[in-house]
Structure 1
Amino acid sequence: MADHFALPERAASSPTSRHLIAAGIIRRHGNRTITVRVTAAGVTGTIRKVVTR
């Protein structure tokens, strides 16, 4: 005889339970590249000269 299990009414994990891990921006202006990162630990950023490729 097969065992039967009741299905849950909704999913165990909903999309609204997601958390932001990190956000950032990279901007190039003139001969500089500005990078900013935001995480739960804080904000970091760098300004560097553009490297010719």
Structure 2
Amino acid sequence: MSVLLLQLSGPFQSWGVQSRFGMRDTGLEPSKSGVIGLLCAALGRPRWAILEDLA
């Protein structure tokens, strides 16, 4: 089993978890889609790229 350990530290981190109308909740840790978004940005993938090899 392969494991990727990320240590995210920053005073102003905010991870969107759920949104209802004008209210948006934030979580203490990133969601799965948040981590995949970080990985794709680091790899330079465009938003419309197929992500099947990452999930």
**TM-score normalized with structure 1 length:** 0.24
Greater radius of gyration (CA) = 1
The structure with the greater share of residues assigned to strand is: 1
The structure with the greater share of residues assigned to helix is: 2
**TM-score normalized with structure 2 length:** 0.24
